């Protein structure tokens, strides 16, 4: 599967979970999990969707193993960080190491993404689309 499509699909799954969590918090008037909700939406929905846009704009990266690794590591890091942040705010201090490792996964993934962004100027650009009279 293309990296952009993977990003968009996983981002939608995170958004469904994040919005459901928000609705649950609003309905119960218990905002304890607000930091987990915010991280899930911003890392899982907004950031992942933006990665997808970047990959869609750079077709040479659509089949890149490095780009796919970046997306997978980001998704795993987001899932574990969300669970750890939620657990910590519910008073389970034992989740501290999970939060630390997932934060490092996210940092590593962003490092990888930064390398791809900095290198992207050298990538072959897609051919310009020529409009025909029928269009
Ligand atoms: C169905 C949709 C959503 C619902 C019902 C919802 C609900 C909530 C609730 C109840 C809070 C707690 C507010 C507080 O305690 O002050 C909150 C906080 C937050 N939400 Fe959502 N949310 C939704 C979607 C989103 C989305 C899409 C994003 C980001 C892309 C987002 C980002 C945040 C952030 C960053 C906070 C923390 C705000 C602060 O620190 O004051 N939420 N949300």
84-134 pLDDT, tens digit per residue, is: 999 999 999 999 999 999 999 999 999 999 999 999 988 777 665 556 666
pLDDT digits (tens, 9 = 90+) for 32-72: 999 999 999 999 999 999 999 999 999 999 999 999 999 99
Q: Is 129 inside a domain boundary?
A: no
Choosing from 14, 20, 22 the residue with most ligand 1 atoms within 8 A of its CB, the one to mutate for a pocket test is 22
In terms of residue numbers, what domain contains 106?
3-121
Answer yes or no: is 99 within a domain: yes
66 assigned to some structural domain: yes
Which pLDDT does position 30 carry in this prediction?
97
Q: How many domains does the chain have?
A: 1
* Complete DSSP assignment for the chain: --HHHHHHHHHHHHHHHHHHHHHHHHHHT--TTHHHHHHIIIIIIIIHHHHHHHHHH-GGGTT-HHHHHHHHHHHHHHHHHHHHHHHHHTT-GGGHHHHHHHHHHHHHHHHHHHHHHHHGGGSPPPPPPPPPTT-
**Residue 1 binned pLDDT confidence (cut-offs 50, 70, 90):** confident
* 130 lies in some domain: no
* Residue 132 placed within a domain: no
Nearest CA to ligand 1 atom 38: 38
Residue 128 lies in a domain: no
Decide if 111 is inside a domain: yes
């Amino acid at each position: 599967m293309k990296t952009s499509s993977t990003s968009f699909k996983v981002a939608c799954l995170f958004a469904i979970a994040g919005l459901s969590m928000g609705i649950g918090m609003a309905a119960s008037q218990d905002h304890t999990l607000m930091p987990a909700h915010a991280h899930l939406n911003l890392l899982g929905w907004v950031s992942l969707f933006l990665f997808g846009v970047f990959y869609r704009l750079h077709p040479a990266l659509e089949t890149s193993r490095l780009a796919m690794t970046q997306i997978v590591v980001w998704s795993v890091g987001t899932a574990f960080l969300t669970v750890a942040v939620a657990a910590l705010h519910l008073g389970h201090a034992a989740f501290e190491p999970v939060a630390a490792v997932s934060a490092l996964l996210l940092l590593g993934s962003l490092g990888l993404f930064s390398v791809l962004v900095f290198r992207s100027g050298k990538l072959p650009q897609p051919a310009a689309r020529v409009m025909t009279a029928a269009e």
